[in-house]
Amino acid sequence: MFDGSNTIVLYEELALQDVLPVIWRTLPGTVDAEAAAGYTQRNVRLLQAREAMEQLGPDNKVEDDPNHAADILRLEMKINLLLDLVGQILASSRPRPPAVPVRFNSLGATWKSAAPLPEAGAQGLVEIYLHDALAEPLKLPGRIASVLPDGHIKARFAPVGEQVADLLEKLAFRRHRRLVAGSRQPPR
């Protein structure tokens, strides 16, 4: 499923690859427009929160004053600790599906699942938990495109909306950029 190359692609678009809790929820039919709009609003908020969390840390600093830089670094470390603690509390109070290798973008997702496997053509939701500190998962309506006997599932999403697509693209691009930068650094 994953070839280990620097460019991760799904449905001929740049994709995000990670090991995250993922679950498929079969629905009796397609998602209506009102429910889809609700999913879009929640997904935008989740992706914006995830984007803000990725911007924390000393690597993203543009601070000129070294005195303030140390104070900001201490604050960011405390915020990260707080986020980790909140994530642990959430994880213990709200069980999540098992984390599996997943590749996804605004067009679809592919992951490996244990039985019972959905049927190809089934309509439903792919739920992807982006971070331990985020209580809710992304909920992406779509249909199952294929299911292999070994448990590899490929889903195609219904249109996710321009804002969700843009945020997913940014997240995938930042990860891709970090992966390429990491592969160019000489080993220590």
pLDDT for the residue numbered 182: 64
Whole-number Cα distances in Å, 106 to 13, 96, 112, 130, 163: 9, 22, 19, 14, 10
Q: How far apart are CA 109 and CA 164, in angstroms?
A: 15
Q: Is the pLDDT of residue 50 over 90?
A: no
Q: Is the pLDDT of residue 188 over 90?
A: no
> Over the chain, what is the mean pLDDT?
83
Most confident of 58-72, 87-101, 117-131: 117-131
Average pLDDT, integer, range 120-140 = 92
Average pLDDT, integer, range 39-44 = 94
- Beta-carbon contacts of residue 108 (< 8 Å; ≥ 6 apart): 10, 11, 142, 145, 154, 155, 156, 157
pTM of the full structure: 0.77
Identify the H or E element spanning 123. Answer: strand 123-128
Q: How far apart are CA 14 and CA 105, in angstroms?
A: 7
Q: Is the pLDDT of residue 2 over 60?
A: no
Q: How far apart are CA 1 and CA 110, in angstroms?
A: 8
Structural domain boundaries of the chain? 9-53+95-184
Residue 105: pLDDT band (50, 70, 90) is: very high
Share of the chain above pLDDT 70, in %: 83
Residue 3: pLDDT band (50, 70, 90) is: very low
What is the CATH superfamily name and number for domain 9-53+95-184? predicted glycosyltransferase like domains (2.40.10.220)
